[in-house]
Chains A and B, each alone.
Chain A
Amino acid sequence: MATDTATAPATTETDHDHPAHLEHHFVSTEQQFDSAKLGMWLFLITEILLFAGMFVAYAVYRQWHPEAFLEASVTLDQFLGTVNTIVLLTSSLTVALSIHYIQKDEQSKSFWSLIATLALAGVFLVIKYFEYTAKFEHGIYPGALFDPHGAKYEPLANIPYVAQFFSIYFVMTGIHGVHVVVGMGIIAWIASRVYRGHFGSDYFTHVELTGLYWHLVDIIWIFLYPMLYLV
């Protein structure tokens, strides 16, 4: 090390035999990895706090109008909600496996795990699409357009504050859906980089951080599922 420093000024970026992915302002890959991970966790708690706003709205309105929430939640499709829960949990497993494989230098398995995650995320969105359109057909819109009619939705028209439930339902699942879409984009990008062999057991920060993000999306859904569909 010392001889390296003697030949080049300490301020240049290429003075040590550092790996290519080590940025100049870090001392070691260890430091870089730890920093990225802590940064990701901090970002995740901002996401949690973002959803906290909607959880508060849910708690307040549920406490004020429990009957309306009960009547409204039974019109949601419990079966589809449960299927979607299992789909997301499985996608969490596959993304965890992709990290497991990349840590063992099994790039191909890691790649296919990510592709599986991507496919499961797609299934989730398709099911969500069918749920939404089924609602829209019967005038279940968020907000001022709310006008329930037909089938099991007819009685909702006479219950006050049912619209609040559906507003919260659409906003919560909508923002969650946006996160799923963003996550799919990131996973696709990371999968392509894994395919091109950018990562291995010595450097897999991006894969791990993507995994953390995807698990958070899963955790949010773990709470949305019972709150909206079950109780």
Chain B
Amino acid sequence: MSTDASAAAVHAPEEGAHGEDENYLNHETGLWSWLTTRDHKRIGIMYCLSLAVVFFAAGMLAMAIRAELIAPGQTVMDADTYNQVFTMHGIMMVFLFLVPSIPAILGNFVLPLQIGAKDVAFPRLNLASWYVYMAGAIMTIVALVTGGVDTGWTFYTPYSSSTGGGILWMTAAIFVAGFASIFTGINFIVTIHKMRAPGMTWNRLPLFIWGLYATSIVQVLATPVIGITMLLLILEQSLGIGIFDPALGGDPILFQHFFWFYSHPAVYIMILPAFGILSELIATFSRQRIFGYRAIALSSVAISLLGFMVWGHHMFVSGQSAVSSIIFSLITYLIGIPSGIKVFNWVATMYKGSIWLQTPMLYALSFLFLFTIGGFTGIMVGVLAVDVHLHDTYYVVAHFHYVMMGGSVMALLGGMHYWWPKMTGKMYNETLGKIAVALIFIGFNLTFFTQFILGAQGMPRRYYDYVEKYAPLHELSTYGSWVLGLGLFLVLGYAIHSLYWGKKAPANPWAAATLEWTNVAALPDPHNFLRTPLVTRGPYDFHLADEVFGGGDGVGDGRAATAGTLEAPKPAPSAPEPQESH
């Protein structure tokens, strides 16, 4: 490649010096090349595989829980097993799946591509993060083998500090896995601050990056606290230091403060990157500049900071002081404001847009619907008096599943579909994709909407058995879980199918305007960009990116894109060669 060919080279990045064949997947092969890679894209793929296994295992545990609850009394397992099953479902889903999920898979893969960097700032730390995560996962398995855990995922003392079994291993596993999260957070913040391509100002960052930035702040600030909490819990179990155990003069509510100082912000670790994905999907599939860019970007940061001051709303009935309950309740209402800002802005973005109902967009719409329900019910349980009735019922279970699964997992699925062509170079089957969305959406609502009603009627969470009057709704909820499971298996099925038999993906199948689509080959080069791009416009400036989005003549409705007539936005030009100024 010669210097004067730079302009031509970026127009067809796949025709680089290495020819069309070299990409990040095949430039070196073998298991060892993966285990020692420092390529953020490969680490993203490795996280993807690991998390898929965890999600599968934890999902199977969820199916087991629902199977047990299909009828009152014992159906498929005894009560002690049930306690372990719901505990492991919670721990694995929260600490080993949802917390790392979007940042570790999609964040790792997409972040450097979207800001025009060759890699994250600390590639070795990135790889270390994966190994630390795996160590945590293995310790979880050890905890299972050495007797299991039945404390619930919250580890409330004094039960957790006095029970035996695998609790020591489990707390240690969470301590260790926390470091994976911290490493990712540090890496992302530094990468976003220091590694942006020329012209990529803070106001031109794609909103997914803003979401990841806010997430990383929370990861860095909150995760150490779960570390010290687990450490103190381990010392409580082994030495009896008497900080949390009332029998030794400790205070069990203090443990809840420690635990929720991390675990409430952790909720935002799960949902903030989901917000980011949603902004990408809605802007791209509406062919519209995002409405209220700054409002969306800054509301993410606002949520991440405000999210640290609401943890006490998990403890309204724990016996904490009324003063703190009132303060925590008030700030909980405030969180509704930035969340509402986002939802309104997304809806406004779609208004008069050319909405293209591809699978990722369907996930985005599902998210809007489900997250709104999850958010509103969150405000309800944030009301002091109402919470006295709803606390520890299925209402709360339904609420956080609407936010975590209806929000976070829906966005993850949407994002995986959206970036699947970039990650694998293959297109998935669109028809099956749409069927899967429908199954997941219907199954999800069947499973969890019924639980709102159950909870409002007084069904307590974590119970093994229940009275006859709850039976019909429980049964319906279990049927819903089967539909939901079917939908997820369908996704797994066509995803694997597409790897082998999928259509080859073009470099920019969605005609999106962010750098990973405009300036990167269909399967990215090991070093991402052949030329560092020079960013001259915002991430959703479709009209600036390309004038060919014919106004109102139907070209922009998306069907044209698949037929190959909709021209993708032009790539950004190359940045001038950096001068070593020293």
**Bound complex: CA A54 to CA B250 (Å):** 14
- Closest residue of chain B to A146, judged by CB? B242
- Report B305 CB to chain A, min CB distance, Å: 14
Q: B16, B186, B224, B579: which contacts A49 (Cβ < 8 A)? A: B224
- Contact A39/B190 with A5-B577, A56-B258, A171-B235 known, Cβ cut-off 8 Å: yes
Question: Which residues of A from 40 to 73 have beta carbons under 8 Å from B?
Answer: 42-43, 45-47, 49-54, 56-57, 60-61
Residue interface mask A112-146, B partner, CB < 8 A = 1: 00000000000000000000000000000011110
B186 A142 Cβ-Cβ under 8 A: no
A28 B580 Cβ-Cβ under 8 A: yes
Q: A9, A43, A46: which contacts B1 (Cβ < 8 A)? A: A9
16 contacts between A and B (CB under 8 A): A6-B3, A23-B123, A25-B123, A39-B121, A46-B220, A46-B221, A50-B225, A52-B224, A53-B229, A53-B232, A143-B239, A143-B240, A144-B248, A163-B248, A163-B249, A168-B243
With a CB–CB cut-off of 8 A, which chain B residues contact A10?
1, 530-531
**Bound complex: CA A50 to CA B182 (Å):** 12
Question: Which residues of A from 134 to 192 have beta carbons under 8 Å from B?
Answer: 142-145, 160-161, 163-164, 167-168, 170-171, 175
**Bound complex: CA A73 to CA B317 (Å):** 35
B117 A38 Cβ-Cβ under 8 A: no
Question: Which residues of B from 519 to 542 have beta carbons under 8 Å from A?
Answer: 525-527, 530-532
- Contact A35/B195 with A2-B3, A49-B225, A57-B232 known, Cβ cut-off 8 Å: yes
With a CB–CB cut-off of 8 A, which chain A residues contact B516?
none
In the complex, whether A202 has a CB less than 8 A from a CB of chain B is yes
With a CB–CB cut-off of 8 A, which chain B residues contact A35?
121-122, 190-191, 193-195
Residue interface mask B232-274, A partner, CB < 8 A = 1: 1001100111110000111100100110000000000000000
B578 A27 Cβ-Cβ under 8 A: yes
A11 B224 Cβ-Cβ under 8 A: no
With a CB–CB cut-off of 8 A, which chain A residues contact B17?
9, 11
Q: B224, B231, B239, B526: which contacts A144 (Cβ < 8 A)? A: B239
In the complex, whether B227 has a CB less than 8 A from a CB of chain A is yes
A25 B119 Cβ-Cβ under 8 A: yes
Residue interface mask B60-102, A partner, CB < 8 A = 1: 0000000000000000000000000000000000000000000
- Report A105 CB to chain B, min CB distance, Å: 15
- Report B12 CB to chain A, min CB distance, Å: 16
- Contact A11/B121 with A5-B577, A50-B224, A163-B242 known, Cβ cut-off 8 Å: no
In the complex, whether A16 has a CB less than 8 A from a CB of chain B is yes
In the complex, whether B29 has a CB less than 8 A from a CB of chain A is no
A30 B243 Cβ-Cβ under 8 A: no
A24 B122 Cβ-Cβ under 8 A: no
B580 A16 Cβ-Cβ under 8 A: yes
A52 B225 Cβ-Cβ under 8 A: yes
- Contact A30/B232 with A56-B258, A161-B249 known, Cβ cut-off 8 Å: no
Q: Is the interface of A mostly helix, strand, loop or mixed?
A: helix
Interface size on A, residues (CB 8 A): 52
In the complex, whether B581 has a CB less than 8 A from a CB of chain A is yes
A-B contact count (CB 8 A): 148
A45 B190 Cβ-Cβ under 8 A: no
A11 B578 Cβ-Cβ under 8 A: no
In the complex, whether A1 has a CB less than 8 A from a CB of chain B is yes
Which B residues have a C-beta under 8 Å from some C-beta of A? 1-3, 16-18, 117-123, 125, 182, 185-187, 189-191, 193-195, 220-225, 227-229, 231-232, 235-236, 239-243, 248-251, 254, 257-258, 525-527, 530-532, 577-582
B530 A57 Cβ-Cβ under 8 A: no
- Report B365 CB to chain A, min CB distance, Å: 36
B118 A24 Cβ-Cβ under 8 A: yes
A38 B243 Cβ-Cβ under 8 A: no
**Bound complex: CA A202 to CA B578 (Å):** 19
**Bound complex: CA A186 to CA B249 (Å):** 39
- Closest residue of chain B to A145, judged by CB? B239
With a CB–CB cut-off of 8 A, which chain A residues contact B579?
1
- Closest residue of chain B to A48, judged by CB? B224
**Bound complex: CA A202 to CA B582 (Å):** 9
- Report A73 CB to chain B, min CB distance, Å: 17
**Bound complex: CA A145 to CA B240 (Å):** 8
In the complex, whether A77 has a CB less than 8 A from a CB of chain B is no
In the complex, whether A18 has a CB less than 8 A from a CB of chain B is yes
With a CB–CB cut-off of 8 A, which chain A residues contact B236?
143
A39 B221 Cβ-Cβ under 8 A: no
B121 A142 Cβ-Cβ under 8 A: no
**Bound complex: CA A168 to CA B579 (Å):** 53
- Report A227 CB to chain B, min CB distance, Å: 16
Besides A49-B224, A50-B228, A164-B243, 5 new A-B residue pairs in contact (Cβ under 8 A), listed by A number? A16-B580, A47-B224, A51-B228, A52-B228, A164-B242
A143 B248 Cβ-Cβ under 8 A: yes
With a CB–CB cut-off of 8 A, which chain A residues contact B229?
53
**Bound complex: CA A51 to CA B477 (Å):** 44
A30 B240 Cβ-Cβ under 8 A: no
A5 B3 Cβ-Cβ under 8 A: yes
B220 A45 Cβ-Cβ under 8 A: yes
Q: B225, B527, B581: which contacts A30 (Cβ < 8 A)? A: B581
B525 A142 Cβ-Cβ under 8 A: no
A25 B243 Cβ-Cβ under 8 A: no
**Bound complex: CA A163 to CA B248 (Å):** 9
In the complex, whether A34 has a CB less than 8 A from a CB of chain B is yes
- Closest residue of chain B to A162, judged by CB? B249
With a CB–CB cut-off of 8 A, which chain B residues contact A42?
185-186, 189-190, 220
In the complex, whether A29 has a CB less than 8 A from a CB of chain B is yes
- Report B86 CB to chain A, min CB distance, Å: 27
Which of the listed residues B221, B242, B250 has the most CB atoms from chain A within 10 Å of its own CB? B242
- Report A176 CB to chain B, min CB distance, Å: 13
**Bound complex: CA A145 to CA B232 (Å):** 16
With a CB–CB cut-off of 8 A, which chain B residues contact A29?
580, 582
**Bound complex: CA A28 to CA B236 (Å):** 49
